[in-house]
Structure 1
Amino acid sequence: MRHHHIFPLAALLLVWPLIDLHAGGVPLHDLVPGADAFTPAPSPAVPAVLDLQTAQRLALQNNPSLQAAQARAAQAHERVRQAWSRYLPRLEGTAGATHVRPPKNQRPALPSSGFSFVTSNVFSTGPQDVYQAALNATLTLFDGFQREFALAAARFSEQGSQAAYREAQRVLLSAVAESYFLAQLARQRRTIAEADEAFNLRQLKDAQAREAAGAGSLSDVLTFQVQVNLARAQKIQADQEERVALTGLAALMGLPEGTFDRSITLAPLGEPDPERLWMPSIQDALAYATKHRPDLDQSRFALQAAEAGVGSVKSRFFPSVNLFGTLEGSRIHDAGLARDDFGSSVGIALVVPLFSGGEDVFRVREALRSRREAQETLRQGTINAASEVQAAVEQILGAQEQFRLQQENAVLVRKNRDLVEKEYAAGQASLVRLTQAQRDLVQAQGQLAQARIALESAWVKLHSATGRILEGF
């Protein structure tokens, strides 16, 4: 009975790639254009009081550049699966229909279409339709360890991509901290300007009262009014600097609006932890950086991948052994292929590379130089990491000294300002001394705030240089 038609077989051959993709873990809807279209991420919920850790956590969750790095790491994982697939057999199905019109003065064989042993003895003197189907299987038994080296390279590349993702996290966390501290410094300056404004407003009211009573001068009133205006100008500038810093912070956090709501405030900075005033150990910092910095891990994996690449190109000089099998059939004037129309063959093939025009030799040379590049990149990365750690430690030491000095100086200047204020109220100090003492206090408070932020920023730079900033994330 010839009821086995070619059309079910052709349909199976058409859907087989989809079955293969589904077995490999690829959802079928990914094959449909636009099925996984981009949709904007919702705006993350930002708390009313934002601290540094929360800002960093939200940035890791929503920053688009970091999401892109994560996608690159996922791509590398898929390349590992591709390398694994080379150990599996290859199956290919073909089906076709051919209309043959031979010349009238000869009896030709049917045209070759991959079905030679079935159709080589079929002759015809008139037009005919030929229906064909075949299933080919190939299994690589040995390829000079090329698959092993390719798999190793893919694995090292995947690990390198994961390290690159962690490196992107390290850079992002450091950038978020810098923007956060810039906003904190602007807020501190605004607080200082508000206190300066309040002090001068109080002095202005007293000067106006004395002038009204005939015991003061208009010059004092005008001087304090100028000081009030200067304080307000400083407050406006500090507020603008804070909004600009918060805008940069919002961009790093991946907020679609690119800014924060004005109801959101930063958590108070407070006094530094006692640990911030300890002297860091350069040796411990260098040892930690060498072991934990993601960019160094990335360079190490790149070197290992390059070494595997050398082995992969050298394997091209070895012979390869393939096992193959074929099931094929052909029928004339009828698309219904039956079991009797099919034949099969199985064999083993040995391929020995003899000459490629020098291409393989040049590939080896290229791979060796790629390995050298990876070695030098790792060496330069190690030098850069050590330099960053050294610079961060020096910044911490300088920031600690500055903070202690400015902290002591701010106490002295405030005490002096309070004494001058009392003397001015008692008529024993001039207006010039009072305004100068107030300006000295504002300057000292600003320098203290800057030293406080510089101390925190220096520690962040050290933790970023060593990779310790990634702890807890």
Structure 2
Amino acid sequence: MNQRTWMFSALLIVVGCRTPHDSINAIIERQSRALEQMPSEARARMFDPNRTAATQPAEELRGSGLLTLEEARDIALKSNPDIQAAQARLEAALARITEARSFYFPKVNLTHQSSRTFMIPNRQSTYRQPFPMGYYLPQLSSGLSLIDLLNTFSGPLSGALFGNYNISTGNTNSFSDHQSTLSASWVLFDGFVREARLLSVKQMYVASAMSLANVERLLIQAVDSAYHQAQLGVEQLRIAQADEQFSLKQLANARKNFEAGKISKADVLNFEVRVRAAQANVVAARGVQETGRVVLAELLALTDAQLPTAMALALLNEEGDSDLQAQDVIAWIDQAMAARADLAEVQHFLKATEENIVMARGQFYPELSLRGSWGFENAHNVSYSDDDQSSAIALEMRWAIFTGGYRTSQVRRANAEWWEANAGVRRKGLQICREVRQAVIDLTNAQEQVYLQRDNLRFAEENRRLVETQYDAGKSSLVRMNEAQRDYVQTEGELVLARIRLRQAWSDLHAAAGTYYRRAGDDSPDVAK
């Protein structure tokens, strides 16, 4: 039997060993295989379930070059910690599916117990001590009266009731006992609780996948906003620097005219003020640009949240006709209802709560299980023999008749959670409609602003040219010159702001509709430094 002992030990070592952790690549590969098996309707809501790695990983953004908006999105989707946290939640949901499936399989346990008994009470010992009757019963004499008879039995009775006598100490014959058992149990029926549990966790897995897609949607929207803010800073810096150069030119001319006695000192000081104001705008524009770059670097998960200094962003291209077309809000709402991942998330959560109700109701059914065991028992050592074997098999039916209202409260709670989830689906639908309508309103306003500011800039530029010519000829006042330059700078800045708002409005509309915003030709071959 030594061979059997070694087999038991080897099985215990193999089964009891802790499974090593999977690598990140193994987890991602497992998630990819699981995502491929998801329903096509759920996969369609994800931005790119089969996306590859970014062409410029975050760790390689240490040189110079052009960082396009598309590349920034890809890097963020790969490196952002929010994506990694959502992937971890997806892995946990995938593990819960395996946990739910485990209830369909039998449970096998290997147990071993070795004990050594040193002392047991005499009443449990197989070696009984004789009752010390001579100690309690006196010798009976002839001519026994009633009083003598009572005195004769009062001793044993009082001793038995009140412990006045003393039996010898416990038995000290020590012995050992060894038991090794392989047992198995298999639940055959549990009121469909296993089925409901598995369906529930599958719905929660799809909900976790939709949560990952929603994180991607919000992350892309955040990257677009940061990228556009940095582009706005670049354009404002260009406008402020152009204003500074124009003011410096006017200041140089004013100094020449002052030396020639054509203008007063106040005119020179006026252009000094204009130069300082333009320089202040340059500083403010640099702040807007750097703030956008810092936020973008954080979203890309770059070290110290800093983009490389030599890394440039794309300049703005002119808007196409499609960018300025009016949009049908109803069509966008229909698109959002079919594509928004967060709506699908709460819908699958609602389905999971339906299965939780089935699980709660399953507690009212009986449970039928099959149990069996096989093992050895020896009172001396673990060198078992065939005579030490024992085995048993049983079919067990367990039906809880009364639980103090526990099962009923479980059903009530499951129903309440379903009501809450159902209200959450309705609330999410209303939220999506509001977001889409608001995004369409913002887009329409941005389109109108672009149209108006284009015309305003053309008029302001022509007006400044005429006023500058008249001022140089001495036919226009300094006040009129200041107004013309201020109107031109302000109008150009408002046009740039309207163009940025137009791009962000498109990004917000696609985010509200749950689609991936790709604007053809948005990235200029020029760079914004």
Native 8 Å contact 1:193 1:231 kept in 2: yes
Q: Give 1:42 shift.
A: 6.9
CA distance in 1, matches of 2:517, 2:97: 26
- Matched position secondary structure for 1:270: coil
Q: Give 1:471 shift.
A: 7.9
Q: 1:439 to 1:309 in 2, by over 3 A?
A: same
- Matched position secondary structure for 1:387: helix
Q: Deviations over 1:312-366 (max 9, x none)?
A: 1111111121111101211122221234322211221111221111100110000
TM-score, normalisation: structure 1 = 0.88
Partner of 1:120: none
**2:112 matches 1:95:** yes
Which amino acid in structure 1 is aligned with residue 437 of structure 2? Q
**Residues 41-440 of structure 1 aligned to structure 2 (within 5 Å):** 43-45=59-61, 48-103=65-120, 105-106=122-123, 108=125, 126-440=173-487
Structure 1 stretches lacking a partner, 5+ long = 30-40, 110-123
- Matched position secondary structure for 1:262: coil
> RMSD of aligned C-alpha atoms?
2.2
- Matched position secondary structure for 2:317: coil
Moved more, 431-440 or 74-83: 431-440
Q: Deviations over 1:69-97 (max 9, x none)?
A: 11101100000011011111110000121
Q: Give 1:376 shift.
A: 0.2
Q: Deviations over 1:257-299 (max 9, x none)?
A: 1122222221001212321101111111011111110110001
TM-score, normalisation: structure 2 = 0.79
Which amino acid in structure 2 is aligned with residue 372 of structure 1? W
Native 8 Å contact 1:169 1:470 kept in 2: no
| Identical aligned residues as a percent | 32
Q: 1:68 to 1:8 in 2, by over 3 A?
A: same
Native 8 Å contact 2:58 2:75 kept in 1: no
CA distance in 2, matches of 1:471, 1:342: 73
Q: 1:104 to 1:321 in 2, by over 3 A?
A: closer
CA distance in 1, matches of 2:471, 2:340: 59
Moved more, 97-106 or 288-297: 97-106
CA distance in 1, matches of 2:122, 2:306: 85
Native 8 Å contact 2:196 2:356 kept in 1: yes
Moved more, 78-87 or 7-16: 7-16
Q: Deviations over 1:94-149 (max 9, x none)?
A: 0121002343634558xxxxxxxxxxxxxx98211111100001111111111000
Structure 2 stretches lacking a partner, 5+ long = 25-56, 127-170, 520-529
Q: Give 1:55 shift.
A: 1.5
Native 8 Å contact 1:410 1:445 kept in 2: yes
CA distance in 2, matches of 1:368, 1:176: 40
Aligned residues: 442
Moved more, 156-165 or 323-332: 323-332
CA distance in 2, matches of 1:417, 1:442: 10
Native 8 Å contact 2:58 2:300 kept in 1: no
Moved more, 57-66 or 220-229: 220-229
Q: 1:17 to 1:103 in 2, by over 3 A?
A: closer
Which amino acid in structure 2 is aligned with residue 369 of structure 1? A
Native 8 Å contact 1:299 1:374 kept in 2: yes
Which amino acid in structure 2 is aligned with residue 74 of structure 1? E
CA distance in 2, matches of 1:297, 1:175: 21
Native 8 Å contact 2:506 2:517 kept in 1: no
